[in-house]
Amino acid sequence: MTMDAVLTAADAALRTLFVPPRASRVCATLPHETADLPEMERRLSGALMRVNHVGEICAQALYTSQALAARMRGQEDRLVQQLEAAGQEEVDHLAWTQHRLDELGARPSLLNPLWYTGAFGLGLVAGSLGPRWSLGFVVETERQVEAHLADHMDRLPAADQASRAIVAQMKEEEAHHAREAERAGAAPLPPPVKGLMRLAARVMTTVAHRI
């Protein structure tokens, strides 16, 4: 069982980093037409959506590693199923942001393997602490992502309705993931841990905006 879980996690990593993602859903609020943006606005949207794409790369790593840790600890299938269900919605987010990057003529972050590896390690640590702390990590991660997406809604060009629609849909679903984790018995994380998570996220978003 342990080897199967490890191989499943390795396959998920390779697919996330090297296989174009395919969404299982159409973004519900995505308009059918995309406005032509001035060059400066297009570059800004591209940079912001690259950051969002990195966030979804990290989300895949976090949910995959936490599910792996739960399996290795022999924890109940319900936790694994919850993590994998949230991870599947994040695959849609990954596909939507990748598609929007392509439309904007922008590239993903060159450091995606590094972001994935770092997030995978964090997820393993969180998952090894047990279900309540693992779910608490989900809650705090999703709350911080929700705040980050709200900031992007303020910064995206008003004319870029396609990007704004994607971000709005993602924000709604990240909040749902946090609520589900809370209902499942998440433990609140200590303030110093939350602060370290915010610092790590700030470094990632700053670098990914450019690289």
Residue 22 lies in a domain: no
Question: Which residue from 42, 155, 143 is spatially nearest to 100, judged by alpha carbons?
Answer: 42
pLDDT tens for each residue of 48-84: 999 999 988 888 888 888 888 877 776 567 777 777 7
Task: Please compute the mean of the pLDDT values over residues 28-32 and round it to a whole number.
Answer: 62
**Quick one: average pLDDT of 34-41?**
79
CATH number for the domain that contains residue 54: 1.20.1260.10
Residue 36 is assigned to a structural domain of this protein: no
* Residue 139 belongs to some domain of the structure: yes
122 phi and psi angles, rounded to 5 deg: -60, -40
Q: Note whether residue 26 is domain-resident.
A: no
pLDDT tens digits along 140-181 = 888 988 988 999 999 999 889 889 999 999 998 889 888 888
For residues 61 and 75, give the distance between their C-alpha atoms in angstroms, rounded to a whole number.
Answer: 19
The verdict on residue 177 lying in a domain is yes
Q: How many CA atoms lie within 13 A of 117 on its CB side?
A: 4
pTM of the model: 0.87
Residues 6+ apart with CB under 8 A from 125: none
pLDDT above 70 as % of the chain: 87
**What residue numbers bound the domain in which 136 lies?**
2-17+41-208
Q: What is the pLDDT of residue 29?
A: 66
pLDDT per residue as tens digits for the range 179-189: 888 888 888 88
Report the number of distinct structural domains present in the chain. Answer: 1
Within a domain: residue 97? yes
Tens of pLDDT, residue by residue over 122-133, are 888 888 888 888
